[in-house]
Structure 1
Amino acid sequence: MIIASDRPQKIARLVALMDERCAPAVSLTTAESLSWLFDGARVTVPYGGAPVCSAIVDSDGSCLVTAYANEAERLLAEELGPGVEVRAVPWHRPLPAPGRGVLREDEHLATMRRLRASLLPGERARYASLGRDVARSVSAQLREVSPHESEHDLAARLLHAIAAAGAEPVVVLAAGEARGEVPHPLPTAAALGRRAMAVVGARRQGLVANLTRWVSFDGPPSADVEARLREVEADAFAATRPGRPLGEVLADIAAAYEQHGFGADAWQAHHQGGPTGYLGRDPKATPGATDRVQSGQAFAWNPWVPGAKLEDTVIVDRSGIEVLTSDPEWPAAEVHGIPRPLTLLRA
């Protein structure tokens, strides 16, 4: 499937910013913004490493990329697309700083988050494809995993699932029955036992799909706890309305824990997630956060209590919630009209 580039609309957003700030150009230096502008270009070499290039966009819409000499040809041929001028600099020197008057991204991070937030048609198509592929690939691995395998084994399966979807790992967590109460269970050699949790963050073409799934080898888990946590998540979805500050949304989520019987401070036991897209959390929702929800923005809320967690990547529109990381073959229940994943029961 060929997806048209959204770059002209992104450049238009940058030019509007320059007009607003009376600046001649803007400098992009983070992996998330470079990948955003260049339709998902891979601009780092180590996963999570520093970019190997930077970009200057002028007020006339032209773009100059400065890249290390050992990366320039690959970027031009495989990542950046047409209409981009690339200037090479020696690999052993730092990328040059922008000139006077140029808007520096590192001084306007919140503004750049705002420009990235509302996803354009090409981005949404890439995201929907990624979410579907990752969800199905993870499902396939969890249908095969054994209770005798270790958390390391499960993590290896999840890494395989990510690679099979043509993506790169951002987060891989695995918890067996002894560690289901750990908020961020980095994998260990412990056996999975009677139930396991799998958490994945996978990046493809710049965008990150986040999901959490549970599998049980010993019958269904506590239906009451899971059902009440699904109601907390439903309240999180309902609270995520365009125009609202993230801090207000988080306050509603915090109140939902108490409303559904988890206690007033339950939300403080683990972060609740937040906007996603070109970062796993862009940004993480915190009390008092002023970033506003935008129509067409991606979110990954992750309500958590000891032994239970929910997480999927969704897009918020004025018309409602679209779940990206869904697998129609995975067991699910409708919660206020939205299908939500259940624990996979294995014999």
Structure 2
Amino acid sequence: MLSHTGTYAGTCSVTPTADRAAKHDRLVRILDEHGADSMTLSRPENLSWYFDGARTAVPLGGAPVFSAVIHRDGAAVVTALENEAERLATEEIGGAEVRAVPWFTDLTTIAPESLRDTDAVAALRQARAALLPVERERYRVLGRDAAAAMTHVLQQCHPRMPEYEVAAELAHAVLSTGAEPSVILIAGAARCGIQHPLPTSAAIGDRVMVVLTAKRFGLHMSLTRWARFTGAETAAEIAIREVEADVFAATRPGRELREVLDDIATAYATHGLGTADRPAWREHHQGGPTGYLGRDPKADPTTTTLVAAGGAFAWNPWTPHAKVEDTVIVDADGVDILSVDPVWPTVDVRGLRRPAALDLS
């Protein structure tokens, strides 16, 4: 329990996973590089990663309500806003001492002598990248749940259904799994050429694209699915899946993301998408590594971040009226697709089962 002064919360009751030691070893290597004895974690991706998927904020996507100082010897001291500390100690954070401070405290000013995570962004991104066993299993279960939620919602759709209603049903389905919807995009037939179609009151019509990012245990699971009531598969849909196959082939451990993006640009042209004056890869961002951030980072022509073996990726090749996206883990021998519902219709693309449009006619 908190003391009457609100400055000390004792030891948390949540048990950390066995993988905490491996994460600490990765932090110690960063401390060695910087000649530091402790690191202050203040960013949500780092706090969730280190503390076994703890929920860091109260508003969805909001600022963290705690920070943490991780010492070289393994001691972890969490500083939490006093109106959050007891809940965090009881429900979210294991293996740390929790100290409460007034709710108006600037958590970024704690332990100024410590190395800040904001001064070691690239190193921490690399530390988070290769998923440990418990993370990989959590991710696989989240992928199954997110994909099943998508299937359930799209199976119930009808052409007169407003995009807002599809979004509401999907948010409900995701929250019912204990995950949080971080992104929901809905494009009915009239809006399928929009890259980021925030849902509107428009009816979905005879075709709909649904994009979801669901978050649980700090991990982000992204996928895109299509359903149609009339019509057949288009040439653009076939071509975009071929682009994705080239993207997967290009995502090899040890390569820089900018090299992968070069191959992505070539893939669009190879499969007849875009023009010399308007390259298709410039029409929308292509995605990139994922995990404790939706994109960690988003791949661009300057990104030197390396593809990590055992790292998660969410590429999202797009062209007007066609898009494909799943969350995968990149291993030395290929990709392991996480966001899979066995009920969803698929087609074979170079040995991988990839999602087709759900036929609701």
Report TM bin, short chain: over 0.9
The Cα of 1:195 is off from its aligned counterpart by 0.2
Structure 2: runs of 5+ lacking an equivalent: 1-14
1:312-347 C-alpha deviation (Å, 9 max, x unpaired): 000001021000001111000111111100000112
Distance 1:176 1:239, change over 3 A: same
Which letter does structure 2 place at the counterpart of 1:242? P
Give the aligned partner of residue 49 of structure 1: 62
Which letter does structure 2 place at the counterpart of 1:129? V
> Match of 1:88, SS?
strand
The Cα of 1:98 is off from its aligned counterpart by 4.3
How do residues 88-103 of structure 1 correspond to structure 2 at under 5 angstroms?
Answer: 88-95=100-107, 97-103=109-115
Give the aligned partner of residue 74 of structure 2: 61
Which letter does structure 2 place at the counterpart of 1:314? V
Give the aligned partner of residue 7 of structure 1: 20
Give the aligned partner of residue 321 of structure 2: 307
Say whether residues 1:196 and 2:208 are aligned partners.
yes
> Match of 1:127, SS?
helix
Give the aligned partner of residue 162 of structure 1: 174
Runs (4+) off by over 6 Å? none
Say whether residues 1:106 and 2:155 are aligned partners.
no
Verify the 8 A CA contact 2:69 2:111 in the aligned structure 1.
no
1:196-252 C-alpha deviation (Å, 9 max, x unpaired): 000000001110100000000113231x21111111000000000000000000110
How do residues 110-121 of structure 1 correspond to structure 2 at under 5 angstroms?
Answer: 110-121=122-133
Say whether residues 1:329 and 2:352 are aligned partners.
no
Q: Which residue among 251, 260, 264 is the counterpart of 1:249?
A: 260
Give the aligned partner of residue 341 of structure 1: 355
Output the CA distance in 1 between the equivalents of 2:73 and 2:64.
Answer: 25
> Match of 2:297, SS?
coil
Verify the 8 A CA contact 2:42 2:108 in the aligned structure 1.
no
Which letter does structure 2 place at the counterpart of 1:276? T
Q: Which residue among 171, 181, 190 is the counterpart of 2:183?
A: 171
Output the CA distance in 1 between the equivalents of 2:196 and 2:334.
Answer: 29
Verify the 8 A CA contact 1:68 1:88 in the aligned structure 2.
yes
Verify the 8 A CA contact 2:17 2:52 in the aligned structure 1.
no
Output the CA distance in 2 between the equivalents of 1:251 and 1:101.
Answer: 41
Output the CA distance in 2 between the equivalents of 1:3 and 1:195.
Answer: 45
Output the CA distance in 2 between the equivalents of 1:305 and 1:92.
Answer: 46
Output the CA distance in 2 between the equivalents of 1:337 and 1:119.
Answer: 25
Which letter does structure 2 place at the counterpart of 1:235? D
Verify the 8 A CA contact 2:80 2:101 in the aligned structure 1.
yes
Output the CA distance in 1 between the equivalents of 2:109 and 2:330.
Answer: 37
Verify the 8 A CA contact 2:153 2:169 in the aligned structure 1.
yes
Give the aligned partner of residue 274 of structure 1: 288
How do residues 255-266 of structure 1 correspond to structure 2 at under 5 angstroms?
Answer: 255-263=266-274, 264=276, 265-266=279-280
The Cα of 1:138 is off from its aligned counterpart by 1.0
Output the CA distance in 2 between the equivalents of 1:249 and 1:268.
Answer: 14
TM-score, structure 2 length as denominator? 0.93
Give the aligned partner of residue 78 of structure 1: 91
Distance 1:253 1:157, change over 3 A: same
Say whether residues 1:298 and 2:309 are aligned partners.
no
Give the aligned partner of residue 156 of structure 2: 144
Which letter does structure 1 place at the counterpart of 2:294? G
Output the CA distance in 2 between the equivalents of 1:29 and 1:260.
Answer: 44
Say whether residues 1:17 and 2:30 are aligned partners.
yes
Distance 1:66 1:235, change over 3 A: same
Say whether residues 1:125 and 2:137 are aligned partners.
yes
> Match of 2:107, SS?
coil
Output the CA distance in 1 between the equivalents of 2:359 and 2:16.
Answer: 38
Output the CA distance in 1 between the equivalents of 2:16 and 2:57.
Answer: 23
Which letter does structure 1 place at the counterpart of 2:153? Q
The Cα of 1:4 is off from its aligned counterpart by 4.2
Verify the 8 A CA contact 1:5 1:39 in the aligned structure 2.
no
Which letter does structure 2 place at the counterpart of 1:56? V
Output the CA distance in 2 between the equivalents of 1:127 and 1:329.
Answer: 19
> Match of 1:54, SS?
strand
Give the aligned partner of residue 218 of structure 1: 230
Output the CA distance in 1 between the equivalents of 2:112 and 2:180.
Answer: 37
Output the CA distance in 1 between the equivalents of 2:105 and 2:36.
Answer: 27
